[in-house]
Structure 1
Amino acid sequence: MLNGPIPPQVDPRKLADRGVTLKGELPLANMRRVGEQLVKSEGAVAVVLDFGRDQQKQFVIHGVLDTAVEMICQRCLEPAVLPISSEFDFAVLWEGKSADALPQGYDALEVGEEPLDLHSLIEEELLLALPIIPVHPEGACQHPEGFEAPEEPADEEKRPNPFSVLAQLKRDPNV
């Protein structure tokens, strides 16, 4: 296991042949697209990437991301700190190779002769893990001053169903 900063670019095939595990943190401030979704780009993403081969000798990457981000709650429009955790599995394919024969549970990751941009891959996975509609946990929203929850409607008078006449006609054999 290699602890420390996550390298920006790697050759996943070489790391898989050696069975390398990378463990480290990436600052949220370095992730521009993720930062656009957040209130503050403070903090870091804890990353663990296991490179190896599966039973079919396929190059694979298993990754785990953990962080906490601050986003705008869509219920109360106040900042909410949300824990984010994600796991992913990639099968590394040569560019242009078909992903049809991949075992179930793997996403295809096409890599050519160029090194894999690991930071972009982590940013993509974090974007996918962010909630589509961020909200505080149930009951934790802080409503602004002057906000009053709508009152429950009083027992409304029971109005007659306008189609009840048709039901009576249907039952009446003389019609």
Structure 2
Amino acid sequence: MNRNQVLPQVQLSADPSSLKRVDFCAPQSYKGAGFLSISDIPRVAEEVSTVVSGDGFNWDLETHFEDSPGSDPRQILELGLKGRLHLVCQRCLQDCAVDLDEKRRFILVTSELEADDYPLEDEEQEPLVASQQFNLLETIEDEVLLSIPLIPKHPEGFCEPHASVFGGEDGGEVEDKRENPFNILKNMKKN
């Protein structure tokens, strides 16, 4: 590819079904943005506790070519994700809104072998195998799943007590009426 050659830039559609087949092998760059609701990304939908209006992810994507010493220019894909989903708080077992704001950078490679040979110590970008029918929607879904916290929790001090475990039927606290086991010893000492 000639360094001075200006590549056409293709605008990606925001429609989720059009993201399932993107030709990253073509000599062009891509740009796009859109919103994916939780129902558009079914593996994420399996993880959420409830779906609230407005839950989902804004995504933006841009590809460009960077010079690579000793080889042809490499295509770089930059992906941004920002959104919210609801998970079960592991402290109080109630719904917990989780906000995600992620930026990812990928280098597009031509084969699985090339991806396997990519240096692991490069933490700034990961290899992705480009194809003529690349499923960008699946990649976005993968990145959302990887960004979900392993143990979702409300911020410290924001958890509501779980009424069926800690409270009575009216939701109030149940008083601890057990007697202190050391009171018996205290009484023995007095006698």
- Please say whether Structure 1 and Structure 2 have the same fold, judged by a TM-score greater than 0.5: yes
SS at match of 1:12: coil
Report the Cα distance in structure 2 between the residues aligned to 1:55 and 1:64, rounded to whole angstroms.
23
Counterparts of 2:175 and 2:90, CA distance in 1: 16
SS at match of 2:92: coil
**1:67 alignment partner in structure 2:** 83
- Give deviations 1:98-130, integer Å, cap 9, x for gaps: 233569222111134x41011111000000011
Question: Displacement of 1:134 after TM fit?
Answer: 0.4
Asked if structure 1 preserves the Cα contact closer than 8 Å seen for 2:66 and 2:75, the reply is yes
Give, as a single letter, the amino acid of the residue that structure 2 aligns with 1:40: T
CA shift for structure 1 position 41 = 3.7
* Residues 1:54 and 2:66 aligned together: yes
**RMSD between aligned alpha carbons?**
2.7
| 1:60-139 alignment runs, 5 A limit | 60-99=76-115, 100-101=117-118, 104=122, 105-112=124-131, 114-139=132-157
* TM-score normalized with structure 1 length: 0.74
- Establish whether residue 141 from structure 1 lines up as the match of residue 159 from structure 2: yes
Q: Work out whether 1:38 is the aligned partner of 2:54.
A: no
Encode CA deviations 1:11-49: one digit per residue, 9 max, x unaligned. Answer: 1243xx443321111121121111111012452210011
Aligned 8 A contact 2:31 2:61 in 1: yes
CA contact (8 A) 1:72 1:134 kept: yes
Quote the sequence identity (%): 22
Instruction: Give the secondary-structure state (helix, strand or coil) at the position aligned to 1:10.
Output: coil
Q: For residue 95 of structure 1, report the CA deviation from its aligned partner.
A: 2.1
5+ long unaligned stretches in structure 2 = 1-9, 168-172, 177-191
In the TM superposition, structure 1's runs of 4+ consecutive aligned residues that sit over 6 Å from their partners are none
Q: Distance in 2 between matches of 1:149 and 1:130?
A: 37
* CA–CA separation in structure 2 for the residues paired with 1:30 and 1:142: 31
Q: Describe the SS at the equivalent of 1:92.
A: strand
Segments of structure 1 that go 5 or more residues without pairing to the other structure are 151-175
Q: Which amino acid aligns with 2:57?
A: V
Correspondence for 1:26 among 32, 36, 44: 36
Q: Which moved more, 1:79-88 or 1:18-27?
A: 18-27
Q: How far apart, in 2, do the equivalents of 1:111 and 1:60 lie?
A: 11
The Cα of 1:3 is off from its aligned counterpart by: 7.3
Change (3 A) 1:116 1:139: same
Q: TM-score, normalised by structure 2?
A: 0.68
Give secondary structure in 2 for the equivalent of 1:55. Answer: strand
